[in-house]
Amino acid sequence: MHVMIIGAGGMVGAKLAARLATDGQLGEKPIEKATLVDIAAPAAPSGAPFAVEALASDLSAQGSGAALVAARPDVIFHLAAIVSGEAETDFEKGYRVNLDGTRSLFDAVQQAGDQYVPRIVFTSSIGVFGAPFPEAIPDDFQLTPLTSYGTQKAIGELLLADYTRRGFMDGIGIRLPTISVRPGKPNKAASGFFSNIIREPLAGKEAILPVSEETRHWHASPRSAVGFLLHAATIDGDAVGPRRNLTMPGISVTVGEQIEALRKIAGDNVVKRIRHEPDEMIMRIVKGWPQRFAPDRAVALGFQAEKSFEENIRVHIEDELDGQFVA
């Protein structure tokens, strides 16, 4: 089996590559080759029992999608995207990368011919939904995004479903919750503070909270995100049916509940490193985001996430901090 990860230089992509290297297989099939793609050639995971090729490629550049598809990967994880805050502030770049890049990949698969129908796992977002919301958003809630990023992802979902319906590819779209606690440094995602207020204090650093503690959101850990991707790559398409985009399970908590979970695990001194500093743009973006879901289809199909935000924090401490934090 040949597996390709587009966006392998990002946090989730790197963790997915590392997991595949550890497992040596995807589902019941051994991996013979992995191709890792990003705007700069990503690092290969250590100890992989299969061949690894790392490529630098801009998916939105003309001919890039066709060049990647020429290798005929059996499974393509399409994770590449401009994050929410940057897509909102740089309109043209957001559409070029998030929409044109996705269309380039899908068109390249469609034009490959010769009965080439790969499984494509597309990472969408809960940003495809827009207010007003019910208390818990059901699987059949309409797509009414209120950001450019959400709009780009919603269009990608529709393309994936139509190209799959036409038999050009076998696509599964997964709407990821906000992934937290993310390792690494703060990025330009409008949702970045959800991780920052946990990750930075645990590392002995100050964190900025740009919204009120009453802000509620939907979360899953990086470990769960990798699990979603692996399950989406191997799930029976007939069981999914024609509605190819699924909202992933997660945890609905307020920022205040996040902070209390941090206090319970790490203590008051760690929580004191969070500084409130309101940001009007971030508050405006986050105000239009969904807060709670009823992802019944995904749960019935076997997708799983943590049951509490305390679990998310403990996953971060275990996976990123070797079980230690700065008290």
Catalytic residues: 149
Ordered DSSP codes for 78-102: E-----HHHHHH-HHHHIIIIIIHH
**What distance in Å separates the CA atoms of residue 76 and residue 318, rounded to the nearest whole number?**
29
CB-based contact 152:87 (threshold 8 Å): yes
Token pair recorded at residue 229: 């991707």
Rounded to whole angstroms, the Cα distance separating 285 from 192 reads: 12
Determine the Cα–Cα distance for residues 108 and 111; give it in Å rounded to an integer: 5
State how far the Cα of 108 lies from the Cα of 146, in Å rounded to an integer: 30
Backbone angles phi, psi at 35, to 5 degrees: -110, 120
